[in-house]
Structure 1
Amino acid sequence: MTDPRRPLADLEPDTDFVRRHIGPDAAGQAAMLATLGVGSLAALIDEVVPADIRRSDAMAIAPAVDEAAVLAELRSVAARNTVLKSLIGQGYYGTHVPPVVLRNVLENPAWYTAYTPYQPEISQGRLEALLNFQTLICELSGLDIANASMLDEATAAAEAMTLLQRGGRSKSATFFVADDVFAQTLAVLRTRAEPLGIRIVTGDPLSVLPGLDCFGALLQYPGANGAVRDYRALAETLHARGGLLAVAADPLALCLLAPPGAWGADVVVGSSQRFGVPMGFGGPHAGFLATRDALKRVMPGRLVGVSIDSHGAAALRLALQTREQHIRREKATSNICTAQVLLAVMASLYACWHGPEGLQRIAQRVHRLTAIFAAGLRGQGFTVAPEAFFDTLTVATGAQTAAIHARARAAGYNLREIDEATLGLSFDETVTRTDLETLWGVFAEGEAALPELDALDAAGAGGLPAALLRSGPFLTHPVFSAHRSETDMLRYLRRLADRDIALDRAMIPLGSCTMKLNATTEMIPVTWPEFGQLHPFAPADQARGYAQLIAELEAMLCAATGYAAVSLAPNAGSQGEYAGLLIIRKYHESRGEGHRDVCLIPSSAHGTNPASAQMAGMRVVVVACDRNGNVDLGDLRTKAAQHAAHLAAIMITYPSTHGVFESGVRELCEIVHAHGGQVYIDGANLNALVGLAAPGAFGGDVSHLNLHKTFCIPHGGGGPGVGPVAVAAHLAEFLPGRGEQAIGAVTAAPGGSASILPISWTYIRLMGAEGLSSATGHAILAANYIATRLAPHYPVLYTGPNGRVAHECIIDLRPIKDSTGISVEDVAKRLIDYGFHAPTMSFPVPGTLMIEPTESEPKSELDRFIDAMISIREEIRAVETGALDADDNPLKHAPHTAQSVCADHWPHAYPREQAAYPVPGLRTAKYWPPVGRVDNVHGDRNLFCSCVPVDDYA
């Protein structure tokens, strides 16, 4: 009964975020513990986590605060950033995010909580958006095939360099980089080249490159200082010498300029940031890479291709490189196993929103404003270069440089200071007529008369050479013209989202991927202008808020991991791995032991581990695992002793990739240290450690952390991510950007994907030390609950000493395959009929499913998944007994589309009702997959990776 006299203390607002983040309520937790036969969560943790690695100290993380308070606190941090109109350029530009895309994609959990589209039948929406992106890049670049995005422009250039080395005829170890390539790109190229033995030569391409023996070259188009140069003859010369050409290009400029593929480029890279993605202090943004058809099977990254489904209809899927690292390991073309999907989707939708005419209009306006401004400056007596340009100018300002710079900032603009006598400006779509008039005043001295804009416009000056203008139509596919009204675009976005399963629709039980709740409060600050509109090379005094945020987040992560220092620069887990190994390499070199190059890697390790080791110039030696999935310490002792003189490191994942807390991890660390090596602990499974154990305290020297897993940055359909590298004290000086001993740049922007760091900062502030520890405990509880309930139906492959798993479990379907022919893929596809994304398939053990429920899922959703798995087991049993035909059964024909179930003809022996509604709850909440089972073999044999002709959709 309502009591209006309750005291005020009992009526305070409900602000317990921890309770809202952790799925099971008190009753659910009690029921789950009862199923496990333990009396408390603490007792379960004692059974699961080895006592000798448990942390005895509390994490030095502030107590939790409520959602309103944390947003107010973050507002004060953001307010320390000063947002000026940045005309710095250099690959980062102001842009207008179409509001319909901002609200319905960037701010929409249907898009940002989706997972990498390894299961194509439930990913057709984002796959279509990515196919649009690939088509956009192909047509802008003039090349045959483009991947589904890269981490940033500099990373894409580094991948292009090794692609040219793999794909060309030249035996040279030299790579040429033009002297007008962006400085951050050159820095990343130098970092990538050194461990691989690649020699980089820089200079003026027109004078140096014709006489240079090199396997490839990178040119910038337009150059960093704005020049648009004709490289057609140079491309021919390079090809005649057996070399290949990469071009870093601006996609907006390519709306007006001849595509590089048309004048000789073999690879084109760049950033799609200015296509409607905020600068965000450097990221995340979708880089791109396009190449010729002849190089498609050695190109890095994800590639969306067109195949057919089981009904013969067009269906999209990841092609060729899907999970390549887990198959080819150290022989993989790259260690990058993700993309910047959410940002690539935004860029492709920006192109759909504006269409080719709109993109050209934006490009023409940017160029026109630049040409008018240049003419006005020349009229004021300034020397302005170059003669041929798109949007960037350099101005000889002599002794006035400092004064002009100061006046510009006072007026609200950041210019680029090239040297003490030269300033640069890059215009973008946000620049207005008023900006030109204000800037002329900034450059003018005293009361000098300012140029007359309309008169200069009427004079018709321009800066694009006629010989390099784009000719002919582009982006002619209807998708780039069909959604111009907001009504059409809104419905198109809804239609795409409805074709997918993301975390807003159902649990995503992927092992090792930690698809946990990304709370709305954590996402809100991402689009604040103080975070989103800051240029990564803005003066430090304009980025004090970011400096505070980064320093505080680094301290939080140190407290959580037990390490001494952290760098947030790596913008993906793959980059964090790579940075960690470079740090180990640099450490050994600093001690006169640069010959240490052997990296021990257990056979169960993530496939990116050996790929990263190879990229860091290390030799991979595999360490065996025992029958329980643990690292074989006997084999480790043998290998460590055998390679003691050259041992650089061991890479392990802890808890193991098999989902177990190995009891011998301290001994493992001691063995490696005793033989002079460093211990790298992959942070992919940190979700099972935070608050309970710290890798930096039980023997780790370096780890990378996946903020898009443990610390709540959403996966975005396959990116964005952040992969910070954390190190012990003796390695701190080698972190990127930390001084003379630091490794080189691993990403383009100094702060990496800075604009999404507020997500993890907010999560940690909302949870506090106790909440983070509770989240870890509940992740372990959920995994053990699933393992216990499924054990009578499916063998659980690996467990720890007390028969428990860590935060994930592996169920073994190989006996089922042997007895019935039902495969792990059949089970995964049948789960779609129940409304679930499948667990991780066949990794780390072929023929298995790796399940990770996370702490975010309530008991009701865990039970719904368990009931689905048990129901599927009963269907398998019906095959075993002969009640269902071995070939004509609901698993072999899964998933079932609405079209197939409702068709006049039903060719199967089992009823339609069993196909569509195998459990009663689906009658009121049913996800219908848009396509039947996708034919992977057909897709690879008939590779097609751009927009499907409209007739094919009929």
Structure 2
Amino acid sequence: MTKIRKDFQQARWNEPIIYELSSPGERGIHVPKPEKEIIEEAGDVFAQLPEHMRRKEKVNLPEVSQKHVLAHYLHLSQETLGSNIANDISQGTCTMKYNPRINEDFVKDPRFSDLHPCQDESTVQGILEIYYRFEHMLKEVSGMDRVSLQPGGGNQAVFTAASIVRKYWEEKGELDTRDEIITTIFSHPCDAAAPATAGFKIITLYPDENGIPDIEALKAAVSERTAAIFMTNPEDIGLFNPKVDEFVKIVHDVGGLCFYDQANANAFLGVARAREAGFDMCHFNVHKTFGTPHACSGPANGAFCCTEELADYLPVPLVEYDGERYSLKSDNPLTIGKVRDFMGTAGVILRAYAWVMSLGAEGLRECAEISVINNNYLEKKLLSIPGLSEAFADNGVRRMEQVRYTWEELTAETGVGTMDIRNRVADYGIPHYFTSHHPWEIPEPMTLEPCETYSKADMDEYYEVLKQIAQEARENPELVKNAPHRAASHKRNNEAALNDPKQWALTWRAFLKKRHKMKV
């Protein structure tokens, strides 16, 4: 029988902010003065700075010794549960998977890490070649004609699509009438948010009795005002829309464009392609699907792909190859311009390129197949837990790489909800548990995605932990409601503060200002 960590106990340091550790006069290092030769060569650098860019006061940095800096960050690391430390079973909708450590060696290699995006093209032929080759890999996987690797993540790739749709109809003189974009309720929220940010009205389709977007509702929604449809497939509840090509045809028949959100592409790599379904555009979350760090919205990358018809609208620059030399092309006549500085996140592209090269075409398909097998195995085990069920369970359709479950029955019986269970799993050394995007169309949701890098033992452990917590909810609900008890994290006293920007402080200076105002 699979053992769970009932005796798990994580370090809890109650670590202060590093500014609170500051002691005047302490130093971690002494920065050496520049050599005479450098001073002579560079001249008076400070004098070359415009007056408005010069600091009036010295920068406010914490003064901490090297030993205490090291202790501070080691304490924080011990209070962190992550995918490399424990069993997190990914994140439904986000395809969090193990990232091979060997790929980290590539990005740390000085031949890559010392490059600068402003270098002359002749000196960066190697990384341009990798960009070019990786773009061709994505073209093969998607069936599309052109690729931009500039967007800094999935959301920005979706916004790139919305910007291209806007430019497309503007060029045709129809933007005033083509002002509606259709999406579905279980697509990623950015499929509504990004077009809305670009100025479009949003029409949202809800599912039919089988959990699939209602095709009759789509027929009623399309009109001469339809600019495009933005849809995720499989959706975030794990169901693949078998009528996706019909959806595309319906939108095309009224002249609209079609964008395929492929953040859930881990389910169909090497199995299905956007081109065969008729889409004009699609995107990949490179930083998830292709085995690179998720990075907490940091160094992410969203690859945007499109047909030749839309290629002139792509962000610039684009990598070109004339058979001898790689170059950057910036003269797209209808480009929407830059959506991010330079060329996207080169470290992500290098890691992803290495990941694909190590697997090959057959390996990519195997990733998809194992993801679906893992998900269906975990689904069958979890549904044996009393009080847990899944949405649209009676349609007879297999889930793909994830499932949106519901604890609604357990909550009605015990008062323990999905947020309580989310907190309690940390007491068993489980670092991750995803509920759902808001709004919660499915009550008390839990969305898990056990992609290809998780073993049978990992899934069995996750199941046993949830089974144990469900039993605790019946025997001692307050134990679960007051969790976590053994983890570094604490139960928040004021959950509402997370949604109140007036209470946020993103910097130490902002925190001090807000604390001063509260005292006054």
Q: TM-score, normalised by structure 1?
A: 0.47
Name structure 2 gaps, 5 residues minimum: 1-8, 319-331, 516-520
Deviation at 1:466, TM superposition (A): 11
The match for 1:787 among 345, 354, 379 is 379
Corresponding position: 1:692 with 2:271: yes
Corresponding position: 1:572 with 2:162: no
> What CA distance in whole angstroms lies between the structure 1 residues aligned with 2:48 and 2:201?
54
Equivalent residue, structure 2, for 1:552: 133
Equivalent residue, structure 1, for 2:298: 719
Equivalent residue, structure 2, for 1:563: 144
Deviation at 1:929, TM superposition (A): 2.6
**Deviation per CA, 1:477-499, whole angstroms, max 9, x where unpaired?**
xxx223x32x4333322211110
Kindly indicate whether the alpha-carbon contact (under 8 Å) linking 2:11 and 2:488 is maintained by their aligned counterparts in 1.
no
Corresponding position: 1:874 with 2:456: no
Equivalent residue, structure 1, for 2:164: 583
Equivalent residue, structure 1, for 2:218: 636
Equivalent residue, structure 1, for 2:490: 931
Aligned residue identity for 1:575: Q
Aligned residue identity for 2:162: L
Kindly indicate whether the alpha-carbon contact (under 8 Å) linking 1:894 and 1:933 is maintained by their aligned counterparts in 2.
no
The match for 1:862 among 445, 449, 459 is 459
Deviation at 1:603, TM superposition (A): 2.0
> Using a 3 Å threshold, how does the CA distance of structure 1 residues 546 and 732 change in structure 2: closer, same or farther?
same
Corresponding position: 1:532 with 2:113: yes
Equivalent residue, structure 2, for 1:757: 349
Deviation at 1:679, TM superposition (A): 1.0
> What CA distance in whole angstroms lies between the structure 1 residues aligned with 2:358 and 2:27?
43
> Using a 3 Å threshold, how does the CA distance of structure 1 residues 467 and 636 change in structure 2: closer, same or farther?
closer
The match for 1:507 among 76, 79, 87 is 87
Kindly indicate whether the alpha-carbon contact (under 8 Å) linking 2:87 and 2:429 is maintained by their aligned counterparts in 1.
no
**Deviation per CA, 1:407-440, whole angstroms, max 9, x where unpaired?**
xxxxxxxxxxxxxxxxxxxxxxxx7543455x58
**Deviation per CA, 1:104-162, whole angstroms, max 9, x where unpaired?**
xxxxxxxxxxxxxxxxx99999x989x76xx89xxxxxxxxxxxxxxxxxxxxxxxxxx
Corresponding position: 1:943 with 2:474: no
Deviation at 1:533, TM superposition (A): 2.0
> What CA distance in whole angstroms lies between the structure 2 residues aligned with 1:726 and 1:467?
39
Equivalent residue, structure 1, for 2:195: 613
> What CA distance in whole angstroms lies between the structure 2 residues aligned with 1:505 and 1:547?
35
Kindly indicate whether the alpha-carbon contact (under 8 Å) linking 2:184 and 2:231 is maintained by their aligned counterparts in 1.
yes
Aligned residue identity for 2:389: P
Aligned residue identity for 1:781: I
> Using a 3 Å threshold, how does the CA distance of structure 1 residues 469 and 662 change in structure 2: closer, same or farther?
closer
Equivalent residue, structure 2, for 1:402: none
Corresponding position: 1:819 with 2:378: no
Counterparts of residues 167-316 of structure 1 (less than 5 Å): none
The match for 1:474 among 31, 39, 60 is 60
Structure 2 SS opposite 1:810:
strand
> What CA distance in whole angstroms lies between the structure 2 residues aligned with 1:939 and 1:679?
35
Structure 2 SS opposite 1:724:
strand
Kindly indicate whether the alpha-carbon contact (under 8 Å) linking 1:895 and 1:933 is maintained by their aligned counterparts in 2.
no
**Deviation per CA, 1:321-362, whole angstroms, max 9, x where unpaired?**
xxxxxxxxxxxxxxxxxxxxxxxxxxxxxxx99999989997
> Using a 3 Å threshold, how does the CA distance of structure 1 residues 536 and 636 change in structure 2: closer, same or farther?
same
> What CA distance in whole angstroms lies between the structure 1 residues aligned with 2:289 and 2:101?
16
Counterparts of residues 112-511 of structure 1 (less than 5 Å): 433-435=36-38, 437=40, 439=41, 469-471=55-57, 474-475=60-61, 480-482=62-64, 484-485=65-66, 487-509=67-89, 510-511=91-92
> What CA distance in whole angstroms lies between the structure 2 residues aligned with 1:354 and 1:565?
55
> Using a 3 Å threshold, how does the CA distance of structure 1 residues 592 and 356 change in structure 2: closer, same or farther?
farther
Deviation at 1:467, TM superposition (A): 12
Instruction: Look at both structures and tell me which one has the larger radius of gyration over its CA atoms.
Output: 1
**Deviation per CA, 1:280-334, whole angstroms, max 9, x where unpaired?**
xxxxxxxxxxxxxxxxxxxxxxxxxxxxxxxxxxxxxxxxxxxxxxxxxxxxxxx
Corresponding position: 1:646 with 2:236: no
Kindly indicate whether the alpha-carbon contact (under 8 Å) linking 1:604 and 1:629 is maintained by their aligned counterparts in 2.
no
> What CA distance in whole angstroms lies between the structure 2 residues aligned with 1:355 and 1:693?
61
Corresponding position: 1:743 with 2:303: no
Corresponding position: 1:778 with 2:367: no
Deviation at 1:468, TM superposition (A): 6.4
Structure 2 SS opposite 1:663:
coil
Structure 2 SS opposite 1:574:
helix
Aligned residue identity for 2:494: D
> What CA distance in whole angstroms lies between the structure 1 residues aligned with 2:195 and 2:246?
23
Kindly indicate whether the alpha-carbon contact (under 8 Å) linking 1:798 and 1:810 is maintained by their aligned counterparts in 2.
no
Aligned residue identity for 2:77: A
> Using a 3 Å threshold, how does the CA distance of structure 1 residues 769 and 361 change in structure 2: closer, same or farther?
same
Structure 1 SS opposite 2:191:
helix
> Using a 3 Å threshold, how does the CA distance of structure 1 residues 128 and 491 change in structure 2: closer, same or farther?
closer
Deviation at 1:606, TM superposition (A): 1.7
> Using a 3 Å threshold, how does the CA distance of structure 1 residues 122 and 652 change in structure 2: closer, same or farther?
farther
> Using a 3 Å threshold, how does the CA distance of structure 1 residues 122 and 684 change in structure 2: closer, same or farther?
farther
**Deviation per CA, 1:723-767, whole angstroms, max 9, x where unpaired?**
110112221222112511221110022x11123311000000001
Q: TM-score, normalised by structure 2?
A: 0.83
> Using a 3 Å threshold, how does the CA distance of structure 1 residues 466 and 821 change in structure 2: closer, same or farther?
closer
> What CA distance in whole angstroms lies between the structure 1 residues aligned with 2:364 and 2:382?
27
The match for 1:599 among 171, 181, 204 is 181
The match for 1:622 among 204, 208, 220 is 204
**Deviation per CA, 1:817-847, whole angstroms, max 9, x where unpaired?**
2222111111111111111134211336341
Equivalent residue, structure 2, for 1:664: 243
Structure 2 SS opposite 1:849:
strand
Comparing 845-854 with 858-867, greater Cα deviation is found at: 845-854
Equivalent residue, structure 1, for 2:480: 891
Aligned residue identity for 1:543: V
Kindly indicate whether the alpha-carbon contact (under 8 Å) linking 1:775 and 1:855 is maintained by their aligned counterparts in 2.
yes
Equivalent residue, structure 1, for 2:5: none
> Using a 3 Å threshold, how does the CA distance of structure 1 residues 124 and 614 change in structure 2: closer, same or farther?
farther
Structure 2 SS opposite 1:840:
coil
Paired residues in the alignment total: 480
Q: CA RMSD in A?
A: 3.5
Name structure 1 gaps, 5 residues minimum: 1-120, 137-351, 366-430, 441-452, 898-927
> What CA distance in whole angstroms lies between the structure 2 residues aligned with 1:559 and 1:527?
29
